[in-house]
């Protein structure tokens, strides 16, 4: 399953769909919605998020297991450095390995200060590079302390993330190089909103691979998050570092908003659909994020 995923990522088109487990003890309604819309037939893989924005959600590894078993497609399970120390991270990797959850998206994590849980403290023993290093150790049959494991784990496939925009693009290249050197086989960007930024990211990734090693072949996966509301565009533009929402998007949505909710949605969807199609033509390796608005995902993809 995972070897085929890596082969498709490197040599063909690739499309993954993000799912966000809810503040609930059940994940099955999300799975059922995906099946109802037939989205499992339109994507190559899924991902599950790990308590994004430090808000309490259903566990990403359990969600990944349920998705993978229902659809027989690989799932990138996100693991954050915020909530676990090195013992817990490795313990989770061991348990996930036996149930075939072996594509791991390593994140440092959002700050604990924005959590919805009172007096939450972040662990943050290190950044996501430590988790990537742990995966490299496991793939060599040892733990992070260098002790041989009783049995060598099945191979784990590490993924990482990078911002989609920086005033100094070279800083993005350095971050790509760092993640490649720590073993990432795929790097997913924050949402991209214009073709020029996408082209820059593709070029930076090519340069990063060359800087790391001649044999380095980590793959860039461009993130897309459709915007259908003016307030979403404004929030992303002003509050989320590493994302650049063009002024023309905001102006178009502002004008549409004045004409009503339906027009606002229509304009936002058209902008998002065109962006998806343009990026697919440029670099057909995409990670689609819709905050569980799966009908939008379906409409974008068909």
Q: What is the mean pLDDT of the chain?
A: 96
Among candidates 192, 223, 226, which has minimal Cα distance to 300?
A: 226
Query: What pLDDT score does 241 carry?
Result: 85
Residue 214 in this model has a pLDDT that exceeds 70:
no
DSSP calls for the chain: -HHHHHHHHHHS-EEEEEE---SSS--HHHHHHHHHHTGGGT-SEEEE--SGGG---S-HHHHHHHHHHHH-S-EEEEEESSS--HHHHHHHHHHHHHTT--EEEEE----GGG-SSTT-----SS-HHHHHHHHHHHHTTB-TTSPBPSSPPPP-EEEEEE-S--SSHHHHHHHHHHHHHTT-SEEEEEE--SHHHHHHHHHHHHHHHHHH-TT---EEEEEE----SHHHHHHHHHH-TT----HHHHHHHHHHHTT-HHHHHHHHHHHHHHHHHHHHHH--EEEE--TT-HHHHHHHH-
Per-residue pLDDT band for 240 (boundaries 50, 70, 90) equals confident
Predicted local confidence at residue 235, as pLDDT: 93
Q: What percent of the chain has pLDDT over 70?
A: 99
Give the model confidence (pLDDT) of 80-104 as tens digits: 999 999 999 999 999 999 999 999 9
Q: How far apart are CA 268 and CA 107, in angstroms?
A: 29
Tally of CB atoms within 10 A around 85: 13
CATH class of 2-228+285-294: alpha beta
pLDDT at residue 213, rounded to an integer: 77
- Name the β-bridge partners of 223: 191, 287
């Amino acid at each position: 399953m995972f070897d085929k995923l890596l082969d498709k990522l490197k040599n063909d088109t690739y499309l993954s769909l993000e799912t966000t487990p809810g503040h609930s003890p059940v994940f099955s309604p999300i799975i059922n919605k995906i099946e109802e819309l037939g989205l499992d037939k339109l994507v190559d893989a899924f991902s599950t998020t790990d308590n994004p924005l430090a808000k309490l959600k259903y566990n990403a590894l359990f969600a990944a297991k349920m998705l993978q078993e229902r659809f027989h497609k690989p799932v990138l399970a996100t693991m954050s450095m915020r909530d676990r120390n090195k013992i817990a991270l490795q313990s989770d990797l061991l348990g996930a390995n036996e149930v075939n959850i072996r594509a791991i998206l390593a994140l440092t994590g959002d700050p604990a200060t924005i959590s919805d849980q009172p007096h939450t403290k972040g662990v943050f023993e290190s950044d996501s590079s430590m988790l990537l290093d742990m995966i490299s150790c496991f793939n060599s049959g040892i733990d992070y302390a260098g002790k041989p494991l009783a049995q060598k784990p099945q191979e784990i496939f590490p993924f990482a993330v990078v911002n989609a925009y920086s005033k100094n693009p070279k800083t993005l290249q350095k971050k790509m190089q760092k993640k490649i050197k720590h073993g990432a086989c795929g790097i997913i960007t924050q949402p991209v909103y214009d073709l020029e930024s996408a082209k820059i990211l593709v070029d930076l990734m090519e340069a990063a691979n060359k800087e790391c090693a001649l044999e380095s072949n980590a793959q860039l996966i461009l993130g897309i998050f459709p915007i259908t509301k003016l307030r979403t565009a404004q929030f992303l533009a002003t509050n989320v570092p590493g994302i650049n929402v063009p002024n023309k998007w905001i102006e178009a949505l502002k004008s549409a908003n004045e004409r009503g909710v339906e027009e606002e949605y229509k304009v936002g969807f058209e902008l998002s659909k065109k962006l998806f199609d343009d990026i697919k033509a440029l670099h057909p390796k995409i990670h689609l994020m819709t905050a569980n608005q799966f009908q939008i995902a379906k409409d974008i993809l068909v």
